Structure 1
Amino acid sequence: MKDFVLPLVIAVIGLAATGLGAVVGARATKFGAEKSAEAVRRQVQDQGAIEHGHWLRQQRFTTYESFLEAWDECLRITQASAADEAQDSTGLEDLRLAADRMAGRARRIAILGPPEVTHAAESLAETMQEDVKVAVRFIEVTRTAIAAVDEHPIPTEAVSEATDEYRHRSQQIVDLVNDHRSQGRDLRELDGHPMLRAALESMEQYRQRSGEAREALSANLERLSAAASEAFSMADVLTRNRKARELSREQFTSAAREALSKTPTPELRVDRG
């Protein structure tokens, strides 16, 4: 009996060992395959992240460049308008469109980032658009003031004519008085003389025309003074914006260089298993 049982036990143990080895081997093979699959997945994921980083860097470069092109266009338009004495709405409309392009490209920068570049771009775009609004207001104020002055012109021609007439009549009176005196005649004889009446009428006309001119001049000066006061305020805004843009331009350039100096990628995970 023992001779039969012992070989049987050994056979069972051997079979069990073989089965256990197969199970262990299968599990090891599966574990190795899973590890390989995970490594491949991570490699593909990391490679995709790297490629996305390169794509993002290129998109940023293109968008930053187009933003600066719109900014330079705004500068060219403002410089050309400053050199052109005949101001019209055409140049202002061109500037408005260029400023709108700046704002649109700043919005795209806000999508692509990073925040430092976005903030500087938005600051540049906002001050330029504010300049356009100020320029529109300046033209409105100027046109309104000119129209008001044109509606209330100073009667310079009428004043000039009244002045000449008054001087002429005054000289006639002087000559008349001198003539009477040279003849030894009484000056009371001149009471009611037609020349005296004409001189008094010319004096009254001169006073009336001069008064009208003073009123028109005073009203026009008041209108022009109000327009000039608002223009000075607008000039302060433009000066402040210009200084702000100089700083924002430096910030944008510096932040853009920093963003483009490296490829934006997420941190790669390290497998420690």
Structure 2
Amino acid sequence: MWDFLRDPVDNHHNAVMDGGWAAVIAGAAGAGDAGLAAWATAHAMIKQVHIQASDQHAHWLREQRQDAYVTLLAATDDVYDKLNPVIAAVQFPGSEPDLNFRAAWADMNTAVRVSGRATRRVGIVGPPDMVLNALQLQESIRATVNIWRVADVPTDQRAMQHAETQRGWERAEDAFRLAAYETISVTRSRPDGPDQPGLMPPRIRAHYRR
């Protein structure tokens, strides 16, 4: 449910050697220079290993970023869901006798901590603009939650503060989602045609919940 489409690694770099080195090797072999041909072959193979390693690293990093971004979005959803019982308990005390106020706050605090860990993971995989967006999202989440931590605030005033901070939360989440799309939907060259944009991951595309 939460998985991204797995993007294939570009294959157009994965030929054994490019035409230039093939010509050098063929010319050296034709001239009877076995040493030069062997050197050129080894050089071409080393070059190919470096290309493949670079492609594999880029693919690995892209997958790590996808997973980190979707983890933070999922954690954000969980905070939003866990906040609703807290709001009900604060605004309408005693209206839901089965609601355990302390348990609701414990669940809320756990969800906030999980979102904090998800934010720190984005800080590890980057890039820098995504780290900034993740920090802004985390700040807006905590600002919204903290509205309900303060005691003895008139109901109308608390509701107005909540509406304002939640709008900031929604803006920060939209900005994070858009930045995530732009980061992982990179343009790739294809050997059989023009450059094609990457697909928008379905988890991000389907994330407009509000």
Query: Normalized against structure 1, the TM-score is what?
Result: 0.48
Determine the structure 1 residue equivalent to 2:130.
Answer: 117
Give the deviation of 1:133 after TM superposition: 3.5
Give the deviation of 1:241 after TM superposition: 2.5
Specify every segment of 5 or more residues in structure 2 that has no aligned partner in the other structure, as ranges: 1-30, 95-100, 189-210
Determine the structure 1 residue equivalent to 2:143.
Answer: 130
Determine the structure 2 residue equivalent to 1:89.
Answer: 102
Q: Deviations over 1:137-159 (max 9, x none)?
A: x1xx33xxxxxxxxxxxxxxxxx
Determine the structure 1 residue equivalent to 2:113.
Answer: 100
Compared CA separation, residues 263 and 113, structure 1 to 2 (3 A)? farther
Distance 1:263 1:53 in 2: 13
Distance 2:115 2:141 in 1: 9
More helix per residue:
1
One-letter code aligned to 2:181 = R
One-letter code aligned to 2:125 = L
Query: Normalized against structure 2, the TM-score is what?
Result: 0.61
Counterparts in 2 of 1:247-258, with a 5 A limit? 247-258=171-182
Determine the structure 2 residue equivalent to 1:71.
Answer: 76
Percent same amino acid at aligned positions? 25
Name the SS of the counterpart of 2:148 in structure 1.
helix
Give the deviation of 1:253 after TM superposition: 1.0
Ranked by relative contact order (alpha carbons within 8 Å, sequence separation 6 or more), the top structure is: 1
Residue pair 1:103, 1:126 contacting (<8 A) in 2 also: no
Count of aligned pairs? 150
More strand per residue:
2
Give the deviation of 1:236 after TM superposition: 5.7
Compared CA separation, residues 240 and 30, structure 1 to 2 (3 A)? farther
Distance 1:237 1:103 in 2: 22
Q: Deviations over 1:65-101 (max 9, x none)?
A: 1111110011111223334433723222221211111
Counterparts in 2 of 1:183-198, with a 5 A limit? none
Does residue 62 of structure 1 match 2:67?
A: yes
Distance 1:239 1:34 in 2: 69
Determine the structure 2 residue equivalent to 1:46.
Answer: 51
Does residue 37 of structure 1 match 2:27?
A: no
Report which of the two structures shows the higher radius of gyration computed on alpha carbons: 1
